[in-house]
A = this chain, B = another copy of it.
């Protein structure tokens, strides 16, 4: 099977009403036209129409086997996660997701794997009405790069840099579950004598393998928030990015951290460690001005069922250029250092 056939077989979802098609059949496919796809898969490049007075919002993320997902991860989960982590970046910007491209590197042509991967990818794409508009398949060690594209009204992006003193800090969902799922798969939980029930393991592993892109939540959050980021590296580390960009500091109350039922069964300090430092949750972490918090939480309770929790506040606007932005964990004496994830941190021979 040649490269062209591979794309035709697994990544042309023409019969689905909301997917890209080649130019010749657009007239039959009004939903594709509605999504702004003028030319999809099948030419040298895709041609996409943005709405008037909108900007393009775009991000690229690569998933590598053994780095971003355990090697035994199912192809369905890999397909889901590869798009979910990218959609999460658009959610963090407050953008509407519209299109994506896929660069897939495969060691060979494994039809069972491809069918599963395509199925997982298609399901989440349909769920969020995003169209696959271009792709590239190459031979090599398994890697998936997805570039996601969305749109937003001019100058309405939710940035990392807008947090202000006295803003409250919120997070969606229950961070830490994905990291517990990973520890479970790696057998680290057992070696720590933290025996979770097989049900809890399954729940946490599902949070690792099938993260939710918080696009629906983002639609509400962007109306109130001053800054936002998605939690990919770990809550503490990602909060650090907001603080650095916004030139502020923060206080977090670990007791306020929303812990899932699975994490509540663990010793508290261990659960909080996972919630603060675990990566791969793809929850949204954001700040809301204190005077908007009440109406914000009212909107949340009316429009979504996702848990949204206040976990701390921004303490200062006046960080000296040379002074690092800091997170103080309250109550004091709660001695946790957050490092988050960092794929290159394990390289000790790089002279840095």
Which A residues are closer than 8 A to B by beta carbons? 1-6, 22-24, 38-39, 42-50, 55-68, 89-90, 92-93, 95, 101-103, 105, 108-109, 111, 133-141, 143, 145, 147-150, 152, 154-155, 157, 159-161, 228-230, 245, 342-345, 347, 349-352
Contact = CB atoms under 8 A, between A and B. Distances in A.
Copies of chain A in the complex: 2
A20 to B, nearest CB: 12
A105 B39 CA distance: 29
A74 B159 CA distance: 38
A50 B61 contact: no
Contacts of A3: 342-345
Given A24-B245, A111-B351, 13 more contacts: A2-B345, A23-B159, A45-B57, A45-B58, A46-B57, A49-B56, A60-B101, A60-B145, A61-B103, A62-B103, A108-B349, A109-B347, A111-B350
A145 B45 CA distance: 15
B58 A149 contact: yes
B230 A1 contact: no
Contacts of A92: 44-45
Given A48-B58, A56-B149, A350-B111, A68 B245 contact: no
Contact of A245 (B42, B137, B228, B343): B42
A8 to B, nearest CB: 12
A288 B189 CA distance: 66
B59 A55 contact: no
Contacts of A68: 138
A237 to B, nearest CB: 10
15 contacts: A38-B155, A43-B159, A45-B95, A46-B58, A50-B55, A56-B149, A58-B134, A58-B149, A60-B145, A64-B138, A67-B139, A68-B138, A136-B145, A143-B143, A147-B147
A59 B134 contact: yes
Contact of A62 (B22, B89, B145): B145
Contacts of A43: 93, 157, 159-161, 245
Given A49-B55, A109-B352, A67 B157 contact: no
A132 to B, nearest CB: 11
A155 B36 CA distance: 12
Contacts of A350: 1, 108-109, 111
Contacts of A148: 45
A44 B352 contact: no
Contacts of A157: 38-39, 43, 47
Nearest first, the 6 closest Cβ-Cβ pairs linking A and B are A1-B352, A109-B350, A45-B59, A64-B140, A145-B145, A44-B92
Contacts of A159: 23, 39, 43
A91 B104 CA distance: 23
